[in-house]
Amino acid sequence: MYITKAYSAAGSTSPLVPDTIPRRETTAHDVAIEILYCGICHSDLHTVRNEWSSVMPTVYPVVPGHEIVGRVSGVGSAVTGFRPGDLVGVGCLVDSDHDCPSCNHHVEQFCRNATFTYNSPDKHGTAPVTYGGYSERIVVDERFVLRVPPHLDPAGVAPLLCAGITTYSPIKRWGDIKGKKVGVVGLGGLGHMGVKFARAFGAHVAVFTTSPQKMADALRLGADAVIVSTDKAQMKAHAGSFDFILDTIAADHDINAYLGMLGLDGELTLVGAPETPLQVSAFALIFGRKRLSGSLIGGIKETQEMLDFCGAHDITADVEVIPIQRVNEAYERLVRSDVKYRFSIDMASLKAG
């Protein structure tokens, strides 16, 4: 075991502050990683503030961060896939039981014994729970380490590890989306990646936003249309016209308004995870035989596929790179939907600070 620098929160109303945490020595199958960048996901904020207490209560101190890009600094004796110096990524998962239907079907995120990158019981016993990427170093089982296309900007790659796979997976799963009318609700970290992927797959993409000032950016990111969701006339003009809608909103909202945008047999997939339950009107679903579904990140195999796709198509997140000393300010901006379009923490600032 050794000690590494990190930022942690001591309670649901505490800011993130400098701290030190233990990391395990590399075991035979482990990869040790020096973290270069870590994205800030709204899930980090939900967890730090214990907003998901009924489902996944937060154990404090919490070290968030599951959009990790770094360089391999060492490998265990049995590791074959990675070498020191490799550019790698780690997302929301660091382990699973490898022995259940979910693991066998490459959807480890649904393994009942999955270990998430932070706030999960630490099977190695290094600490009570796992600690995430707002830290200098991390040690991860090689089966959960991803290869990063080396020509991509690592600061913009970091958010692919969560925001990227969380939007790539449900769009791919929907089927042949080419030429279909796709709506992305909320232009934040997830939403802006959803726009990029839907566009790359050949869909006609419309962004639903509560922030009219994001219109020009939405078009630049690849949207064909922008609908200001607070404008009733704009909503009415598009009612009943969508094949698929991806809802990324982080807060409570009227989901029925978006179900009303779907055409016959249309599907709305929720990826946003608001603190409070959403009220769904039966009528919003039964008229038009609509489907409401959910999706959680993606398995490791699909995450690698997504990274390779991004490598081939030069796709990265649009990031605002910040030093870790500005993380609390970034959280306040997330709450205000003021993000362009993902914060990526330059971890050199932690070494220096």
CA 62 vs CA 21, 24, 91, 194, 351: distances in Å: 10, 17, 17, 28, 19
Please report whether residue 114 would count as binding ligand NAP according to CB under 6 A.
Answer: no
Residue nearest to ligand NAP as judged by C-beta position:
188
Cα 328 from Cα 297, distance rounded (Å):
25
Q: Is the dihedral of CA 12, 17, 21, 23 positive or negative?
A: positive
Please report whether residue 117 would count as binding ligand NAP according to CB under 6 A.
Answer: no
Please report whether residue 49 would count as binding ligand NAP according to CB under 6 A.
Answer: no
Question: If you write DSSP's letter for every residue of 215-273 in order, what string do you get?
Answer: HHHHHHHT-SEEEETT-HHHHHHHTT-EEEEEE---S---HHHHHTTEEEEEEEEE---
**Min. distance of Cβ 20 from ligand NAP in angstroms?**
27
Please report whether residue 41 would count as binding Zn ion according to CB under 5 A.
Answer: yes
**Min. distance of Cβ 267 from ligand NAP in angstroms?**
15
Q: How far apart are the first and last CA of the chain?
A: 23
Please report whether residue 250 would count as binding ligand NAP according to CB under 6 A.
Answer: yes
Segment interacting with ligand NAP, rule: CB under 6 A, options 37-45, 94-102, 124-132, 304-312? 37-45
CA 297 vs CA 16, 170, 292: distances in Å: 25, 9, 17
Single residue of 158, 187, 221, 261 touching ligand NAP by CB under 6 A: 187
Kindly state the tokens that stand for 16.
């993130």
**Min. distance of Cβ 282 from Zn ion in angstroms?**
31
Cα 10 from Cα 2, distance rounded (Å):
21
Please report whether residue 256 would count as binding ligand NAP according to CB under 6 A.
Answer: no
Q: CB–CB of 16/135 below 8 Å?
A: no
Single residue of 339, 345, 347, 350 touching ligand NAP by CB under 6 A: 339
Cα 115 from Cα 94, distance rounded (Å):
6
Please report whether residue 43 would count as binding Zn ion according to CB under 5 A.
Answer: yes
How big is the site for ligand NAP, counted in residues (CB under 6 A)?
31
Please report whether residue 211 would count as binding ligand NAP according to CB under 6 A.
Answer: yes
Of residues 26 and 102, the one with the C-beta less far from ligand NAP: 102
Please report whether residue 41 would count as binding ligand NAP according to CB under 6 A.
Answer: yes
Kindly state the tokens that stand for 298.
């993606």
Q: Which residues bind Zn ion (CB under 5 A)?
A: 41, 43, 162
Q: Which residues bind ligand NAP (CB under 6 A)?
A: 41-43, 46, 162-163, 166, 186-191, 209-211, 214, 248-251, 253, 271-273, 295-297, 334, 337, 339
